Amino acid sequence: MPAFGRALRKDFPLEPGYVPVNQGSYGTFPRVVRQKAIEYQEQCEQHPDRFMRIEAPELLKQSRSQLAALVGCPDPADIAFIENATMAANTVLRSFPFAKGDKVLCNQRMHVHPLRQFSTGYVNVNKTLEFVSHYKDIELVLVELHYPLSDQAVLDKAAEAIDQNPGIRMAVFDAISSQPGVLFPFEAMTRLVQKNGILAFIDGAHAVGQIPLDLQAIDPDFFLSNCHKWLYVPRGNCFLYVAKRCQQYVHPLGINNHYKQADHPAFSFEKEFLDLGAVDYSSVLTIKDALAYRASIGGEDAIQEYCHNLAVQGGALVAEFLGTSVLENEERTLTASMVNVELPLTNAAPAEVIPYFTQTLIYEHHTMIPVFPIGGKIYARLSAQIYTDLEDFKEAADALKKTCQAFEAKN
């Protein structure tokens, strides 16, 4: 078994000198998976009709079965493949038969800042809820969350909102949020909302590959997770799980010839979603190859344990170097494989900080670290990976310090 850390960097196609501490935004994947994707593409172009009509759907089922086993989903037919988390969220929210005035609970994570009109969970999901509120006249119930918070405080806030807003139909919340990159008490939240007759839609965009999942035990109504972020599959690739009891509410964003109304005897969630249409299947097909690679280097538990420990240690290192602190609660339940560290900036406007850091970190420090505001402060989110170690966090800390200094000097 190879050792985790920089020695594994050779397995990934990242360029020399790059400090890769941002798996969370776009993911990356090993050379062996890339090679498999190329082979599927070549197989397709030999005879596109044979591949698209016959071979690809069969290969897709192999990926679907293996993924279902990984996430504890007893029936692979309950899993659909969609391009990314944004599209998967739109799939549910734009086909669910909302009636005028239906209420949807969403979790607001941070103060509204100039780049976000409406900040509940991931910005694209928020914006989709906003679109649906315009298109279908639904009402959004926001839960305001000021991190750091204990899991119990998050649950209490949601319970309060549910009490104050009778008739909520669906709740949309994260498994691991994006900014800040923190674990959410999604299992307890699922039980809380379902106990109140509310459908639970979990945005697990960052979940699969970062934390263990057992969908049968969690029993959400809807669950999505990108495979391209933490599972080492090429972009764009997301899976959407829909509980059988809710499959009648969901149709693909690209309605196809299998479409039937839910009350039609031939309605089939599986058939509607098995037909991906004219797309490049290679990303979906490499799920099994990504899982084989993960098994070859030690398996899910080993990967997740290494990344979590590195995030905790690396975050502490960066905070100490910057003279700030990690975003955590007393129970230390917020950090999975992403860690959020406060930046030593005073009175920094997010609308200026964000583009400056993106440009400077990429072009002057050969890295990328997302930065974002929480409660008047600016935080940076760093991702741990099997091909990084504390040396990368030291380099990232140095890049952040220099960029903070340059930003303060400029202003």
Interacting residue ranges for a second copy, rule: CB under 8 A: 12-15, 18, 22, 25-29, 34, 38, 41-42, 45-50, 52-54, 83-87, 90, 94-95, 97, 115-116, 123-124, 127-128, 130-131, 134-135, 226, 228, 234-236, 251, 253-257, 259, 261, 277-280, 283, 358, 362, 368
To a second copy, the closest distance from the beta carbon of 126 in angstroms equals 8
Task: Give CA 269 to chain center in angstroms.
Answer: 23
- Are 107 and 173 in contact by the 8 Å Cβ rule? The answer is yes
CA–CA dist 269, 262 (Å, integer): 9
Which CB atom, from 232 or from 407, has the smaller least distance to a second copy? 232
Q: Which two tokens stand for residue 310?
A: 């590195």
Specify the pairing of strand 338-342 against strand 103-108.
unpaired
Residue 351 CB, nearest distance to a second copy (Å)?
A: 13
DSSP 54: I
Residues 6 or more apart from 384 whose CB is under 8 A from it? 21, 23, 306, 307, 308, 309, 310, 311, 314, 337, 338, 339
Q: 7 vs 14, which CB is nearer to a second copy?
A: 14
Judged by DSSP in three states, 101 sits in coil
R_g of the chain computed on alpha carbons: 21
* Min separation Cβ 235 and a second copy, Å: 5
Please, which residue, 128 or 247, has the CB nearer to a second copy? Answer: 128
The continuous run of DSSP H or E covering 172 comes out as strand 168-174
The residue type found at 110 is M
Question: Phi and psi for 170 in degrees, rounded to 5?
Answer: -145, 145
* Residue 400 beta carbon to a second copy: minimum distance, rounded to whole angstroms: 15
Q: How far is the CB of 299 from a second copy (least distance, A)?
A: 24
Which CB, 2 or 26, lies closer to a second copy? 26
Cβ-based nearer residue to a second copy, 190 or 226: 226
Beta carbon of residue 300, minimum distance to a second copy (angstroms, whole number): 22
Q: Residue 13 or residue 74: which is nearer to a second copy going by CB?
A: 13
Query: What is the distance between the alpha carbons of residues 171 and 350, in angstroms, rounded to a whole number?
Result: 29
Helix axes 186-195, 151-164, angle to 10 degrees: 20
Closer residue to a second copy, CB minimum distance, 132 or 162 = 132
Strand 377-383 versus strand 338-342 pairing type:
antiparallel
Output the smallest distance, CB 389 to a second copy, in A: 19
